[in-house]
Amino acid sequence: MAVSVPVFCASALHGDECCFGDMTDDQMVNGEDIGYLLSAWSTSDSQADLDQSGIVDGADLAMLLSNWGMCGHHDHDGGKYTLITDWGDFHGSNNNSHHEQMVDGRTPITTEAMVAYTNLRAFLDLPALEFEDVGQWAFDEELTNNDQAWGTDMIGVGLWYAMQGAKVGWITDEAYDPQILADIQRTARTVCNPIEMKAAVMDMVRQYGIDGYADYLEDNNIEDIFINTLKMEPHYGGWMHGRCHGFLPIEGVAIAHDINHLTVLNWAQTLPFYNDTFDWPQWPALDVSDSGVIEYFQSMVVLGDPRGQNM
């Protein structure tokens, strides 16, 4: 399936932090960038026209100032949300698992994903759930390493599967194609201009999502929560392998853990269903039917049967 996406920030695709507003290519937003913007004032200079309005004006200056400082200076501390690693840190041998390896726009898993999940359930007229509700479902459905939760396992597993459900569960059965998850996550992570990025992401939600979901996100001003969840790296903190490695058989050719790799991309973020430790496909998952995959992820949203009909 061909998905139309914008041009990506070259630096973001090669390990550097995207630096929106850096017009002088010195990896920081500073006085030189203000000077460039002012020199282009009232023109249609494409580099200085940050909001793509067709004219360089005060709105562009405000956007520039909001990104002031050294590129990549923002710490991955979760902000007002809680990091999943506050409940356990299992790491594992993955290139993008560790705190310092959130590269190419990948971000840590935080409780913001539960907000995105709750918003999707609200759109479907389903009540809000607690972390423990989703976690208990995952344990009951053999989607975890162990059959019993210890310590903070229940809430961490609940957050992890809520994130996965929010990333995928909005796609319709008819539109589902695994490539969507590569294109939309890559777009959210690497398109440097936030206006262009959001427009491209929401275009994909309209094209492939449940009718009305894109409007619901925009009308309630919650699309950023959804987009921030798309950016999250499933391997972060090691929960994917350390606690959410389920052995439930899927269609006789894979296990639940293989299907979870849908949202794990190759290093270039161009392909889904990857094991990005070694940058090769999660082979068993490729033999599972499209209907089997999308129903599996939809089961996370409604807490249904991972191998049944859900949405």
- Which tens digits make up the pLDDT trace of 177-199? 999 999 999 999 999 889 999 99
Query: Residues with Cβ < 8 Å from 16, sequence gap 6 or more?
Result: 27, 71, 72
Do 135 and 65 fall within a single domain?
A: no
Q: Is residue 76 situated within a structural domain?
A: no
- Is 4 among the domain residues? no
Average pLDDT (98-112) is 80
Q: Does some domain include residue 27?
A: yes
The mean pLDDT value for 125-147 works out to: 97
* One domain, residues 52 and 141: no
Q: For the chain, give the mean pLDDT.
A: 89
Average pLDDT value for residue range 108-135 = 98
In a domain, 79, yes or no: no
Alpha-carbon span 212 to 199, nearest angstrom: 16
Tell whether 261 and 180 lie within a shared domain.
yes
Same domain, 105 and 18: no
Least confident interval from 66-80, 202-216, 250-264: 66-80
**Cα–Cα dist 257/259, whole Å:** 5
Report pLDDT for 97. 47
Shared domain check, 106 and 22:
no
Is 6 within the bounds of a domain?
A: no
Residue 17's pLDDT is what? 58
Residue 142's identity, in one-letter code, is E
Number of compact structural domains in the chain: 2
Confidence of residue 87 (pLDDT cuts 50, 70, 90): very high
Instruction: Give mean pLDDT, residues 116-138.
Output: 99
Do 31 and 164 fall into the same domain? no
114 and 49 in a common domain: no
Quick one: pLDDT at residue 12?
Answer: 44
- On whether both 97 and 134 belong to a single domain, the answer is yes
Same domain, yes or no, for 125 and 52? no
Q: What is the pLDDT of residue 92?
A: 54
Q: What is the CATH number of the domain that holds 19?
A: 1.10.1330.10
Name the residue range of residue 153's domain: 84-302
